[in-house]
């Protein structure tokens, strides 16, 4: 059974066993969260979001429609995900960009991940980096724009 803090607004029934949702987080009705996840305080998870097992989402992270986090992913505090590259007020795309963070990848604090990006399994994104293109598995990326710094 998941543990949900009383101040969290969890609208989805799809949260796996052993997951924890901390204070002041909001999770919309169609979001899917796996088992043994840790959703820290002040997070927002939209409807079309899939989170695998054993995922950590640190404080201040907003996961918008189209984001998928596979098993064992780590998302650092205040990491930012973009799902619409050309946003306009009250004008919505037919479908938001799909962003996939593959198994075991880590995103550092304050990193920005543009929509439509795939971050490969085991990859590491440095704190404050801006990822503008796909990241191969088991590589580390840093900077703005983020560049490949070699194997992890």
Question: Residue 8's pLDDT is what?
Answer: 98
**Strand positions, DSSP E, 64-145:** 67-69, 74-75, 80-81, 99-101, 106-107, 112-113, 118-119, 124-125, 130-131, 139-143
For 118-138, the pLDDT digits (tens) are: 999 999 999 999 999 999 999
Q: State the pTM of this model.
A: 0.97
**Opening angle at CA 143, ends 137 and 144, nearest 5:** 110
Q: Are 17 and 35 in contact (CB under 8 A)?
A: yes
For 26-77, the pLDDT digits (tens) are: 999 999 999 999 999 999 999 999 999 999 999 999 999 999 999 999 999 9
SS3 content of the chain, % helix, strand, coil (to 5): 0, 35, 65
Number of domains in the chain: 1
Question: Residue 27's pLDDT is what?
Answer: 98
SS3 18: coil
Q: Are 46 and 63 in contact (CB under 8 A)?
A: yes
> Which CATH number belongs to the domain containing residue 127 in this structure?
2.160.10.10
Which residues span the domain enclosing 15?
1-152
């Amino acid at each position: 059974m998941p543990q949900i803090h009383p101040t969290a607004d969890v609208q989805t029934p799809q949260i796996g066993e052993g997951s924890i949702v901390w204070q002041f987080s909001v999770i919309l009705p169609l979001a899917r969260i796996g088992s043994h996840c840790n959703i820290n305080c002040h997070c927002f998870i939209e409807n079309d979001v899939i989170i695998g097992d054993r995922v950590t989402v640190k404080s201040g992270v907003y996961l918008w429609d189209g984001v998928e986090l596979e098993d064992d992913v780590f998302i650092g505090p205040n990491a930012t995900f973009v799902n619409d590259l050309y946003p306009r007020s009250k004008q919505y795309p037919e479908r938001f960009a799909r962003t996939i963070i593959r198994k075991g990848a880590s995103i550092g604090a304050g990193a920005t991940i543009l929509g439509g990006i795939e971050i490969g399994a085991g990859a590491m994104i440095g704190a404050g980096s801006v990822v503008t293109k796909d990241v191969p598995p088991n590589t580390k990326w840093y900077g703005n724009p983020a560049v490949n710094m070699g194997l992890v």
